[in-house]
Structure 1
Amino acid sequence: MGADLSRWEPASVEEVAAAFARHPGPWWVAGGVAIELAVGRPIRDHADIDIGVLRTDHVAAHAVLLGWELWAADPPGTLRPWVCGEVLPREVHDVWCRPNAAALWRIQLMIDESDGMDWVSRRDPGVRLPLGLAVRHTAVGIPYLAPQVQLYYKAGSPRPKDLIDFDTALPVLGLPERNWLRAAIERQDPGHGWLERLRQR
């Protein structure tokens, strides 16, 4: 395959912000780092850094990371080079990025769906949110995925680190965010273990 899956050196939020300032469409920090930006403090170590873009302008990521190697994760998870200018098929939503073949992986690019001005879940098109609510900004203007949306993704198959993120982010969710997350999780798993805590005030 030609791609070592084990070697990561995540880019910093500042590095990512400098690079993606050139991106012509919306972008945001995602994953556990987005939860930390939401709560305003470090929570845990991170093996990678996830950056989200919309499918409508995902091809522009090559210009943002000019000269880098970008590898698309074709389901069920086989990495293969993503050629500049190639429109990725809808089932591909995960791209690994590194400066060159000898470098460690630095950025995991996540491709999200949209419908007009709405962010749309790639798992369930019935789960959506206006993009202005799905993406927030830090005090210095760095965009990040809103915690209720990130927790929705993490609720699919929660790992120990996802439980840490849920426990940490829950207190910063207002009632509208809790209600949205509860309804979104109920669509995929009415018996999900997080629902009872989301119902509590």
Structure 2
Amino acid sequence: MRTDFKNWKPLNVSNIVSLFSEIPITWCLAGGWALDIHLGKKSREHSDIDVIILRDQHQAAFQLLSREWKVFKAEGGVLLPWNEGEYLAHTTDVWVSKSHNSSWAFQIMLVDTEDKNWIYRREKSIKKPVNELIVRTYDGIPYLRPEIQLLYKGGSSKIRGKDFDDLQTTLPILTSQEKEWLSSSLLQQFPQGHPWVAYLQKGI
């Protein structure tokens, strides 16, 4: 069991691309790095690095990662070893390090799908086709669509300062369709209203 959530020495984007390109699954970069890749520049410092994979492919990822890495599942406020053959039906976060006590190198988020659609776990009526989940750079780096990444940030129970900063940084380059989708999705999750909607609707 580990509780050292702040013990990070993250891989860089190139390291992640090299590692996951060897695994025959659908994956993409997520978090603040996904937004910066979309921006085409580094807008702030990143203390970690996140990768999204589909839940129904997570055991294939385990088989390859576990050869050189130690993988832990986040459950109940602690990080527990993810054992071979164990299906993670409800876990959403997996943390990866080189050894049982070395710094965290990257984090994996498991996302659910149904009938070829991605399902937003916080409000399951929000969906998108899996093939619309990912954008690629000119040199083929896959990253989570910006409006979906911002939904994960804005839809959290605790919106951090850096999440609002990411919204403000990304907002000028979002298309009207992306802003509209994010605004309507936030209102779907929060029918009583959401503080980001006013910012989004100004530019729609």
Alignment TM class, shorter chain as reference: over 0.9
SS in 1 for 2:7: coil
Per the TM alignment, residue 77 of structure 1 is displaced from its structure 2 partner at its CA by: 2.1
1:169 maps to what in 2? Answer: 170
Please name the residue that 2:181 is paired with. 180
Q: Distance in 1 between matches of 2:132 and 2:117?
A: 9
Deviation track 1:146-175 (CA, whole Å, cap 9, x = no partner) reads 000000010023210001110111112111
CA distance in 2, matches of 1:102, 1:196: 44
Aligned length: 199
Identity of aligned residues (%): 36
The alignment partner of 1:5 has SS state of: coil
TM normalised by structure 2 equals 0.92
* 3-state secondary structure, aligned to 2:104: coil
Whichever residue aligns with residue 196 of structure 2, its letter is: W
The aligned counterpart of 2:140 is 141
For residue 5 of structure 1, report the CA deviation from its aligned partner: 2.7
Q: Residue 64 of structure 1: SS of its match in structure 2?
A: helix
- Looking at structure 1, the residues matched to 185 and 143 of structure 2 have their Cα atoms a distance apart, in angstroms, of 19
- Distance in 2 (CA, whole Å) between partners of 1:55 and 1:168 is 30
Higher deviation after alignment, 61-70 or 108-117:
61-70
Deviation at 1:2, TM superposition (A): 4.3
- CA distances 1:3-24 after superposition (whole Å, capped 9, x unpaired): 5333111111111111111222
Tell me what 2:150 maps to: 151
TM-score between both structures, scaled by the size of structure 1: 0.94
Residue 194 of structure 1 is aligned with which of 190, 193, 196?
Answer: 196
* Regions of 4+ moved over 6 Å: none
Name which of structure 1's ranges 58-67 and 133-142 shifts more when overlaid on structure 2: 58-67
Is there any run of 5+ residues in structure 1 with no aligned partner, and where?
none
Aligned equivalent of 1:59: 59
Task: Tell me how far apart the structure 2 counterparts of residues 124 and 2 of structure 1 sit (CA, whole Å).
Answer: 30
Would the aligned equivalents of 2:25 and 2:61 in 1 still touch at CA under 8 Å? no
1:21: which partner in 2? 21
RMSD: 1.4
Partner SS state of residue 73, structure 1:
strand
What secondary structure, in the 3-state scheme, does the structure 1 residue paired with 2:186 have?
Answer: helix
Find the aligned partners of 1:27 and 1:57 in 2 and give their Cα distance: 10
